[in-house]
Amino acid sequence: MDRKRQAGPLRSGDDMSSAIVGVGETPAAKVSEENLESLIVRACREALDDAGLRPSDVDGIVIEGAVMPKEFPADRCEEVLGLHNVELQLGVSKSGAGVVGSLGVAAEAIRARRAEVVLSYFGVDWGTQRRTGRGAGPANARVGEPRIEAFERAFGYWPQVVWFGGLAQRYLETFGRPESDFASWVVANRENAATHEHALEREPLTESDYMDSPYVAAPLRRADCSLLNDGAGAMVVTSLDRAADCRRTPVGIAGVGTGHNETLGRSSIVLDSEILHTGAATATQVAMRSAGIGLDDVGFAEIYDCFTIAAILQAEDMGLFEPGTAGQMAGKGVTRFDGALPINTHGGLLSNSFIVGMGHVIEGVRQVRCERGDGQVTRSSVGLIAGYGGAESSTAVLVAI
């Protein structure tokens, strides 16, 4: 396979231009009493309040480009929030890669003076959808696509958790590792979640509890799967100049990179020459080069963890751990909020809530702003935020300024 994974076009350049100045998040709920619109409005209002900005200040909306435009498009957000001054409206990539990639696009738009205050949001009511039998969000993804209907679903190789079960099995066999590696990751993740006031799963989980969790697509167990819930998050990005006038300490967007798998589309985890590789390697290299930092500078990371194996593969691709060792490192406490390299300090999608990467960005901002209380990491001035979207990955470098 001679085709190289390409660095994507999204990067905020060598000189930092923008910062996240506000974040907002509804407490996640397995099933919320509020509808999606209400959740998103609340998250956006909280983010604007956090920044000390008003709806009339917002002149750009940049959101994840696959799920959000269907569930809650930007023009609806403009309408319900009264964003009369929006001139730039963009959807970016897909899923976690889109949420994190939005930071790069927002930063570029601000640098190019196409916008000055950019709002980004993500929200889902997948908990409600599942409860009311309207499907279960991502679990029914891609039904009806001809490649999948002809070659995968009919043979039982579907849905997402099954594909990730295949990744997990190949990982364990390739590196000769035991399932307890996954347990170690999840146990540490749950310890992190316990420090977060909004995490849906805060009860301690032991390795033995993990092993009692039923298999869904072995070796993946229920405890390896993301939550499915209702919730929303939002963030406000603006220029460094404007950021100086905002209410809170700005968190710099020092670099954003994207990386693609060889095979675009969902089939990358079926047809890539090595399905254990994600776009996170290239995305992270580009982001760090852009930010002018190295791995030694990284104090913590928030990594999209739709399944345990997804987080492990990205963490290794990002260079945070040697291939095949992430679980062992988690078992030594490295990924705990008080460990040597804290990862998913809010509990991620596995234990906090599934708002598709927005929770990771918000947690990164709160860590850099040193407001995470019991879950505060020690080296908080540089964090990596990795978003995964199947065939595409994005990584952002957030820094204290």
Partner 1 sequence: MPRTDTADLASAENELATLAEVVASEIALDWTPAAGFWEGCREHELRVPICNECGRVAWYPRVACGHCLSEHFTWEATDSSPRLYTWTTVMFQFIEALKEHLPYASGLVDIGIDSPDVNVRLSFILPTSYQLVIGMEMTPVFIDVGQVTVPMFVPTGQP
Chain residues in the site for partner 1 (CB under 8 A): 1-3, 139, 146-147, 149-159, 161-162, 165-170, 173-174, 214-220, 267, 270-273, 275
Distance CA 112, CA 335 (A): 38
Residues facing residue 7 across a β-bridge? 259
Q: Work out how close the CB of 143 gets to partner 1 at its nearest, in angstroms, rounded to a whole number.
A: 10
- Cβ atoms of 344 and 360 within 8 Å: the answer is yes
Residues facing residue 303 across a β-bridge? 386
Identity of the residue, 167 or 205, whose beta carbon is nearer to partner 1 in the bound complex = 167
Q: Report how far apart, in Å, the C-alpha atoms of 66 and of each of 61, 93, 99, 223, 229 are.
A: 15, 7, 10, 27, 18
Identity of the residue, 227 or 362, whose beta carbon is nearer to partner 1 in the bound complex = 227
Q: Work out how close the CB of 263 gets to partner 1 at its nearest, in angstroms, rounded to a whole number.
A: 8
Q: Work out how close the CB of 254 gets to partner 1 at its nearest, in angstroms, rounded to a whole number.
A: 35
For residue 63 the two structure tokens come to 């959101």
Q: Work out how close the CB of 166 gets to partner 1 at its nearest, in angstroms, rounded to a whole number.
A: 4
Enter the DSSP assignment of 350: I
- Cβ atoms of 356 and 96 within 8 Å: the answer is yes
- Cβ atoms of 330 and 188 within 8 Å: the answer is yes
Residues facing residue 395 across a β-bridge? 257, 386
Identity of the residue, 151 or 244, whose beta carbon is nearer to partner 1 in the bound complex = 151
Distance CA 58, CA 83 (A): 6
Q: Work out how close the CB of 240 gets to partner 1 at its nearest, in angstroms, rounded to a whole number.
A: 42
Enter the DSSP assignment of 225: B
For Cα atoms 94, 99, 100, give the angle at the middle one, nearest 5 degrees: 110
Angle 95-111/358-368 helices, nearest 10 degrees? 60
Distance CA 303, CA 292 (A): 20
